[in-house]
Amino acid sequence: PMEELKRMAVRHFSAIPNHNHAANLPQEKLFSDKQEGHIIAIKPIKDLRSLSIYWELPKAFIHNFDDRSADLLGYVIGGRYEKSLRSVLKKEELINNIGSSMFRLSKDSGMFYISMDLTPIGAEQFEVVIERCFQTLNALKRTGIPSYIFHELKTMARIDYEYTSRIPPFHFVSTHAHQMIDEPLGTYPLKTVMPTTYNPEETQRFLELLTPESATYVLLAPPELSGAIPERKEKWSNVEYVVRKIPESTLTAWSELPAHPQIALPEQNTFIPNDLKLVNHVKEEEDVVIPHPKKLISNDQGELFVWEDTQYLVPEVSWVFNISSPYIDGSPRQAVMLDLFRYALDEKMASTLSYAEAASLGFDTTIQDLKLVVTVGGYSEKAPLLLKEGLQQAKKCHMTKEEFDLYTTDLKSLYANQGKAMPIQQAHEIMQNLLFSNAPKHSEKLIALETIRYEDYLSFANHLFQEAYIEALMIGNLTEKDALSTWEMILETLAYAPYPRKNHERKQMLTLSSFQGPYKIPMQTDSLGNAAILMIQEGGVTFPKKASHVVLGTGLQEDFFDTLRTKQQTGYVAKVATQEEEQQLYNLFMVQSSTHQPDELISRFELFLETYIKDFETAIPEGRFEVLRSNVITLLETPPTNLGQMASQLNYLAFTHKGDFDRREKLATALRNLTYEDFKADTLSFLSRKNPRRIAIMLEGKQPDGKNFRYEGITAETLKTEGTYISLP
C-alpha cells in the first residue's frame, strides 16, 4: 500500500543527513574540437556497416520543453515514406535503413543524430550518404517544416495519452522516475508527452544548429570498403580506429548543397484516426483474467476466434493470423526464403508503414512454430485498411533482380554476424537446433542462401499462398460482424486453396527417455569468452507437475544467479529459464564466462544442483515455498495488462493448447493444491541425478589476455622431459 511505502521511505532514508551540497556539474562540452568536424572511422569485429552523424545541442534547447523541433525533424529525416531521404538512398543502394531522433544524456545535455545502416556500396561511398543528408537538411532550412506535421504529432500525442495502455507497476514507476528528473514538476508530465505550440522560428533556429562543421561523424565499416585505415587502438576494448579531420572545403561544400530533386516532405497522414468510438461501452463488473473468445469460423480454410473487448475499453484492436502453408517446413532453405519474403514485404510496405506507425498502428510478420504469423495492432478505425494493404503486397511479393542481390547480401551479413554473437547466444542457437526440428543454425542458412537463385525466390513467392490454412484471433474494439467482414476480405485477397490440417508440418522436439543421458556436446567459437548451457528435461506436462515446475523455476532463478554470479563470480550472465514446449517440461541453466572453461561451468552447475537437493529445506524452506507459490498464483490471477498482451495469451491458448482457455485457472488450482511434500518430491525427481535426461552445450571461445587459465592435457613422461627439476643447494 502507498501509505506503507511512504513510512518505509521515511524509516530508511530520514537518517541520511542533508548537507545542502550544490550539484557540481561539468561545464565542458561533450564533443571537443578534435571531434567536431572530424570523422571517426572504426574497424568492426562483426560484419557491420553504419554511419552516424551527431550534433551536441545547447543547454537552452535541452531545457525548452515547448520546442519540439527535434521530434519534427526526426519524423521527416527518419521517415520511410515515398520521396524520403531513405527512399533515395535505398534506390541508390547505399543504405538499408535510417533513424533520426534526439536523446537526452542528462538534465543539461543531449544530442540529435542521424544514423544509417550502410550497404557495402554505401560503406565505399559514405561521403555521398553524408551529402544526401545535408541536401535534405539544407532544403528544410530553406522551406521549414510545415504546420500539418506538428499538428499530426500533437494529435497522436493527445490520443496516445488519453488511451495509454496499462503497463506493469514497476515499469510505470521507473519510467516516470526517469522522466520527471528533466521536466519541472509544476508541469510534469504535460510537456514531456504533449507538444504545445507550433513555432516555425524555433524550428528554424534548431535547423541552423545542424551544420557540417558542428557535427561529429562516426563510421563503422571494414577498412577495405571505407578506405579508412586504422591508426590507433582503443585502450580498453582494443578496437582499431582512426580520426580524420574533414577538409574545410568539403564542409563548406556540404553546407551549400542544393536540394535533391527526389527528396520531399511527407504527405499528410491518412492513418491518423478520426473515429475513436467504442463499439461496447459496458464494462464488466470485474476484470476477467482470461475470457473465452467465440469461435465464429471452423472449416477447411481456417479458424476464427473473436472477443469483443468489455475490459480495457480502448478504441484499439489486436489481431493475430497464423498462416500455415506447404512452403513453410522448417528446413534451412525455406527459412531463408521466408527471411527474403519478409524482407521484401517490409520494403514494399515501407511508405505505408511509415505513416501507419506514426499513427500508432502496426503491421508485423514473424515465423513461429512453422507458421507465418501476421499481427496488426493499434487504433481500430484504419486497422482493416492496413491489413488489406499488407495482404495484397504479400500475395504478390516480388522483387527485382537488383533488390534480390541487395537483400541476399544483407542476409549474408546477418547470418554471418550470428556466428560472432555473444557465446551464450551461440550456445542457445545450438541448443534450439538440437531440440527442435524447425530451428536451423545460421551456418545452415548461409549454405542454403548460396544455393538460392532469383528465379527460386520468385517461384516461392508465387506458391506461398496457393494453399493455406489460417488460425485467426481478433480481439478489441470490434463486433462479430466486423470480424466476419475482415475474414471475408482475407479470403478474397489471398484467394488460397485449403491446406488440409492432416498435411500440416509439425514442430518436433527431441525428448530423452529415462535411460538416455546425460550427454555433453563440446564446440568451439571464435568469439571472446565461453558459454555453458545445461538442459534438464523433466517429463510430460500434468497440472500438478507444472505447478511444481513453475514454483521451482521462480526459486531457481534467484538462487542460481546468487550462487554462480554473486558468490562464485563465474560470469556476468547467469540465469535459469523455465520452459514448456510440445507438452514437455524442461529447465535451462546458462552462464557466459571469460574466466572459466565450459566443462568447469557444467561441473559447477551440477554441484549447485546436488547442494540444492541435499540442502533443499534450507534452500526453499516451507515458508519460502508458500511465498513463491502465492506469488505465482497472484500472477496467474492477474489479467494481462493491455490488449496486446491479452491477444498474445489468447492466441497461445487458442492454437497451441487447442482452445483450453481455462488452462491458467487449472494451473492456479493445481498450485493451491500443491503441498510442500509433493513439491519437494517433484524437485528431487526433476533435478537429482536419478534424472539423467540432460544435455550440456559447452562452447569454448577465445580468452582475453591474462584470463586464459585452463588445464592443458599432458602425459607424465612428457612433463618429466619438458619440466625443470631443481634441488636445494
Is residue 620 classed exposed, middle or buried when 0-12, 13-18 and 19+ CB atoms within 10 A define those classes?
buried
When pLDDT is averaged across residues 107-130 and rounded to a whole number, the result is 96
Residue 23 lies in a domain: no
With respect to residue 17, please indicate whether it lies within any of the assigned structural domains. Answer: no
Query: How many Cβ atoms from other residues are within 10 Å of residue 657's Cβ?
Result: 13
**CA dihedral for 706, 710, 716, 717, sign (positive or negative):** negative
Please list, in sequence order, all residues whose beta carbon lies within 8 angstroms of the beta carbon of residue 667, skipping any fewer than 6 positions away: 543, 546, 547, 550, 636
Q: In the predicted model, is pLDDT for residue 69 greater than 70?
A: yes
Do residue 346 and residue 226 come from a single domain? no
- Residues 6 or more apart whose CB falls under 8 angstroms from that of 108 comprise 25, 59, 62, 63
The set of cell numbers assigned to 657 is 493448447
Classify residue 717 by its DSSP letter. H
- CA dist., res. 132 & res. 649, Å (int): 45
* Mean pLDDT value across residues 296-309: 97
- The C-alpha cell that represents 511 in the structure block: 525428448
Write out pLDDT tens, residues 329-374.
999 999 999 999 999 999 999 999 999 999 999 999 999 999 999 9
Position 24 in a domain: no
Please give the residue that has the higher pLDDT: either 185 or 524: 524
CA distances from 609 to 534, 604, 677 (A): 11, 9, 19
Nearest C-alpha neighbor of 526 from the set 699, 698, 701, 705: 701
Give the pLDDT score at 26: 66
Is the residue at 278 inside a domain? no
Look at residue 271 and tell me if it is in a domain: no
The answer to whether 119 and 95 have CB atoms below 8 angstroms apart is yes
- Determine the pLDDT at residue 415: 95
Stronger pLDDT, 702 or 450, i.e. the higher one: 450
C-alpha grid cell, residue 284: 464488466
What is the percent of the chain where pLDDT is above 90? 84
- What is the structure's pLDDT at 165? 82
Angle at 565 between CA 561 and CA 570, to 5 degrees: 135
Q: Please indicate, yes or no, whether residues 382 and 243 belong to a single structural domain of this protein.
A: no
Supply the DSSP symbol for 227: -
All three cell numbers of 15, joined, read 537518517
Given pLDDT bands bounded at 50, 70 and 90, which one contains residue 185?
Answer: confident
pLDDT digits (tens, 9 = 90+) for 489-519: 999 999 999 999 999 999 999 999 988 989 9
Residue 680, pLDDT > 90, answer yes
More confident call, 644 vs 2? 644
How far, in Å, CA of 466 to CA of 328, rounded?
Answer: 12
Give the SS3 label for residue 653: helix
- C-alpha closest to that of 375 among 159, 643, 636: 643
- In this structure, the answer to whether residues 188 and 85 fall within a common structural domain is yes
pLDDT of residue 25: 65
Indicate the number of domains in the chain: 3
Domain C-terminal end among 224, 255, 286: 255
Q: Are residues 315 and 390 in the same domain?
A: yes
The residue range of the domain holding 400 is 294-503
Confirm if 699 and 531 have CB atoms less than 8 A apart: yes
So what's the pLDDT on residue 237? 80
Q: Which residue has the cell 619440466?
A: 723
pLDDT (mean) for 298-304? 97
**Residue written as grid cell 544548429:** 209
What mean pLDDT is reported for the chain? 94
Are 436 and 556 in the same domain? no
Looking at per-residue confidence, does 528 or 38 come out higher?
38
Residue positions counted in the chain: 729
638-647: average pLDDT: 95
| Position 628 in a domain | yes
* Of 81, 83, 75, 82, the residue nearest 262 (C-alpha): 83
Note the pLDDT of residue 282. Answer: 80
Residues 229 and 310 in one domain: no
Q: What share of the chain is helix, strand, coil (3-state, %, to 5)?
A: 45, 20, 35
Instruction: Specify if 264 maps to a domain.
Output: no
Q: Are residues 498 and 403 in the same domain?
A: yes
Q: Up-side HSE of residue 34: CA atoms within 13 Å toward CB? A: 2
Q: What percent of the chain has pLDDT over 70?
A: 99
Q: What is the pLDDT of residue 633?
A: 98
| Total Cβ atoms within 10 A of residue 427 | 28
Shared-domain flag, residues 491 and 611? no
pLDDT for 708 beyond 90:
no
| Distance between CA atoms of residues 551 and 544, nearest Å | 11
d(CA 340, CA 626): 50
The gap from C-alpha 167 to its chain's centroid, in whole angstroms, comes to 18
> What is the C-alpha to C-alpha distance for residues 335 and 507, in angstroms, rounded to an integer?
14
- Residues 678 and 550 grouped into a single domain: yes
- Mean pLDDT computed over 65-91: 96
What CATH number corresponds to the domain at position 144?
Answer: 3.30.830.10
140 to 75, 83, 102, 207, 268: CA distances (angstroms): 13, 14, 17, 8, 17
Other C-beta atoms closer than 10 Å to the C-beta of 93 total 17
Show the cell assigned to 457.
525466390
In a shared domain, residues 633 and 492:
no
- Encode pLDDT of 206-250 as tens digits: 999 999 999 999 999 999 999 999 999 998 888 999 999 999 999
Tell me: do 376 and 450 sit in the same domain: yes
In angstroms, rounded to a whole number, what is the distance separating the alpha carbons of residues 672 and 630?
8
Phi/psi of residue 174, nearest 5 degrees? -65, -35
Which of these three, 255, 274, 309, is where a domain ends? Answer: 255
Q: Is the domain of 488 the same as that of 571?
A: no
With beta carbons less than 8 A apart as the criterion, state whether 45 and 241 touch.
no
